[in-house]
Amino acid sequence: MWHQIWHHSIKNRLTFLFFCITAGAIAVFYFYVVPQLESTLTQQKTDALERDASNYSRTLQGAISREVTAAELDRITRAISEETGTRVTLLGIPRDEQPDIPGTATEEESPPYVISDSRRTDTGVEPSSSNVLEASRSGRAQTTTRAEGGGKLAQVARPLLYQGRPAWVVVFSEPLDEVDENVGSIQRQILIAGLIALVLATAIGYFAASALARRVKRLERGAREVAAGNFSAPIPIDSDDELGQLAQAFNEMQHQLARLDSARKEFIANASHELRTPIFSLGGFVELLQDEDLDENTRAEFLTTMREQVDRLQKLTTDLLDLSRLDAGSIDLELEPVPLRTLANQVAGEFAAAAARKDSEIEVADRRSHLDVEAVCDPERVAQIVRVLIDNALTHTPDGTHITIAARRRSEDGRPDTAELLVADSGPGIRRRDLAAVFERFHTSDSASGSGLGLAIARELAQRMRGGLAVESRPGSTVFTLTLPLAGERRRPAEPPASPASPPRAEVGA
């Protein structure tokens, strides 16, 4: 049960993390600071003893050179003990043989003996013989701390010289019970404060993790709503942190998905209508053609209309197939140098009859020039793009509109040369509200018919060929510009001059 809660709850993980961080900090503080504090307090006691030994041993040093009684020595040690608040012990250093060189010792030494002792402490710990002997051998003060019999003591042994040799050693001793009490008190305070801090940190971590978990849960619920197809409930953005930025990105994604879903539904409705209308129309014409009393003219008219409906169905199915292949990444492109003006002439010829029915004219600018602009592209796909642009120009403009196709080479500072193919018309232009979405899938204007896929497919094809497709429009002029990588210029054979009825027109500008 706990294993499942741990692995499925970010709140529990973050709370436990807060707990571990706080507990770790308290442990580091406790095991690092307390020993350091104890060592510091002990060192302070030892330093104080060394100062007392240095200052008050002069009185005893003076007594060593004159005849003093034991009672007087006891009075001196008790007086020093009263003033310093320490135990003062005066010890003698017996030697079987006095060494000739000061600071050296004989091979065997007897233990030091007590000459006088203030007996100010209740501890049974006696002065360290090794410390006393070391002081007598070295001629310098020696310090030590001892723990015996339930007590802890700091001692400083200072040698007293007689005729240049250590004769007595005075030992200043002070119990470290006060240090132990202070350290113990600080330990208890650290533990109590650490426990309070641990509880507070865990509680704060729990509430902070709960707030964070609620925000994550909100994102999860939003994702489930989107997965269920509900795009109408944006996630509130209550901060500018990473989760707030994630919520903003999620809302933008939700908006895009809502638009895509709306466009998909609209496309399905349009596609259903586009498919149903010609199918029903074809079914009706088939029934009519079964009538044997139809005259030849009527039968020919019916066949022409049926052919138009079949072409309409063929175009729709081709667009759907191209769209699915683009999404699947299965479009194969054969890139090669292609003369754009020659290709434009070929495609424009395909629309001659359609343009004539609308009293429109399709002109390829500079079609007789000896230089043709070459682009690296797939000729079939470029032809498909040009067909889409010409078909849109004929479909969405009134009768008599002039359409111009031009190919040119373009060079800008700091950018490589590119080839451009422009398709311009003199129609009323694209409305501003439709201009920004003209290349989106399934987008159609309010009065336009069709699936709204042609321009979206054309732009994706252009991008797959390392180019682009852009549009500029204003009342009386709409220009679509296909940009492709430039391959070079090809010299074309001269063509016969055009008839006077169709004078050449100036090349269209971008």
**DSSP for 161-203?**
EETTEEEEEEEEEEE-HHHHHHHHHHHHHHHHHHHHHHHHHHH
What does the block give as tokens for 494? 């001269």
pLDDT given for residue 470 in this prediction: 93
pLDDT given for residue 271 in this prediction: 67
Tell the CATH superfamily of the 2-182 domain: PAS domain (3.30.450.20)
For residues 134 and 144, the answer to whether their CB atoms sit within 8 Å is no
Q: Is 153 helix (H, G, I), strand (E, B) or coil?
A: strand
pLDDT given for residue 8 in this prediction: 58
For residues 162 and 170, the answer to whether their CB atoms sit within 8 Å is no
Amino acid at 480: F
Strands laid side by side in the 87-92 sheet: 113-117, 87-92, 165-175, 151-162, 142-148
- The torsion angles phi and psi of 450, rounded to 5 degrees, stand at 115, 180
What does the block give as tokens for 403? 């359409």
pLDDT given for residue 225 in this prediction: 80
Amino acid at 458: A
Q: Where in the chain is the domain with CATH 3.30.565.10?
A: 336-491
Tell the CATH superfamily of the 336-491 domain: Histidine kinase-like ATPase, C-terminal domain (3.30.565.10)
CB-count exposure of residue 7 (10 Å: 0-12, 13-18, 19+)? exposed
For residues 371 and 342, the answer to whether their CB atoms sit within 8 Å is no
* Rounded Cα–Cα distance for residues 421 and 403 (Å): 13
The DSSP symbol for 428 reads S
Whether the full predicted model's pTM is greater than 0.75, yes or no, is: no
pLDDT given for residue 55 in this prediction: 84
* Rounded Cα–Cα distance for residues 10 and 496 (Å): 80
pLDDT given for residue 174 in this prediction: 83
Q: Left (φ > 0), alpha (ψ -120 to 50) or beta: where does 331 sit?
A: beta
pLDDT given for residue 203 in this prediction: 87
Q: Is 104 helix (H, G, I), strand (E, B) or coil?
A: coil
Q: Where in the chain is the domain with CATH 1.10.287.130?
A: 242-328
Architecture of domain 242-328: Orthogonal Bundle (1.10)
pLDDT given for residue 346 in this prediction: 92
Q: With a cut of 50, which residues of the chain have pLDDT below it?
A: 1-2, 4-5, 97-107, 491-510
Tell me how long the chain is.
Answer: 510
Q: Where in the chain is the domain with CATH 3.30.450.20?
A: 2-182
What does the block give as tokens for 319? 């667009």
